[in-house]
A and B are shown apart, each in its own frame.
Chain A
Amino acid sequence: DAGITQSPRHKVTETGTPVTLRCHQTENHRYMYWYRQDPGHGLRLIHYSYGVKDTDKGEVSDGYSVSRSKTEDFLLTLESATSSQTSVYFCAISDLGVGTQYFGPGTRLLVL
């Protein structure tokens, strides 16, 4: 299995509070991705990174920001959480932009 972890694995927070999710990899892969998964929807890309300090928006980026200061860490921040951001968040890594993606275990976020 690819060395990819997410923290926290579960989080309950209140509307309006900031939340940061962390994705950590030990594979030295260039590309890192944040997805959300909701019932009735496929995986939806939030943001991705193609290198240290290089990031770009996905299809559902509103309300989210990301940072990548080291190859191994990709942070997803909800500046002011809303109930619509209740979801399961997956991080993925890839050594090639179009190659196989390896997924982390997911983070379940509940915004009350």
Chain B
Amino acid sequence: KNEVEQSPQNLTAQEGEFITINCSYSVGISALHWLQQHPGGGIVSLFMLSSGKKKHGRLIATINIQEKHSSLHITASHPRDSAVYICAVVVDSNYQLIWGAGTKLIIKP
């Protein structure tokens, strides 16, 4: 079993829909990252969080440390949000990063 699991693996939605991507992990962590990989391959960091919630524009990331779960939400989704979204956790025992396999999101106009 992978230590970081993302769901769903693939998600197709219509423009304007509210999107939720989930990340569950089984190790103790000190922080969690959400990143976006564009269709062209570039990788951009979106959030780093260790508790609560962060918001940037239409993106919201939440984390529940007790439940070992984080979600990334996109409000009013747009075709330009189409990308792979990747979750990564910082293991608190050794500060190594463990990466999820990613969620491929397609937003149709």
Q: Which residues of A contact B (CB under 8 A)?
A: 40-45, 88, 90, 92, 97-103, 105-106
Say if the beta carbon of B95 comes within 8 Å of chain A.
yes
Tell me, rounded to whole Å, the shortest Cβ–Cβ distance linking A21 to chain B.
Answer: 15
Contacts of B31 in A (CB 8 A): 98
Question: Are A103 and B48 CB-contacts (below 8 A) given A42-B101, A43-B86, A98-B90?
Answer: no
Cα of A100 to Cα of B102 in the assembled complex, Å: 17
**Listed residue (A92, A100, A102) with the most chain B CB atoms within 10 angstroms of its CB:** A100
Contacts of B4 in A (CB 8 A): 42
User: Dominant SS at the B interface?
Assistant: strand
Residue of A nearest to B102 (CB): A42
Contacts of A106 in B (CB 8 A): 41-43
Q: A42-B99, A100-B33, A103-B43 are in contact. List 13 more A-B contacts (CB 8 A).
A: A41-B101, A42-B4, A42-B101, A42-B102, A44-B99, A97-B95, A98-B31, A100-B45, A100-B48, A101-B45, A103-B44, A103-B45, A105-B41
Say if the beta carbon of B76 comes within 8 Å of chain A.
no
Residue of A nearest to B45 (CB): A100
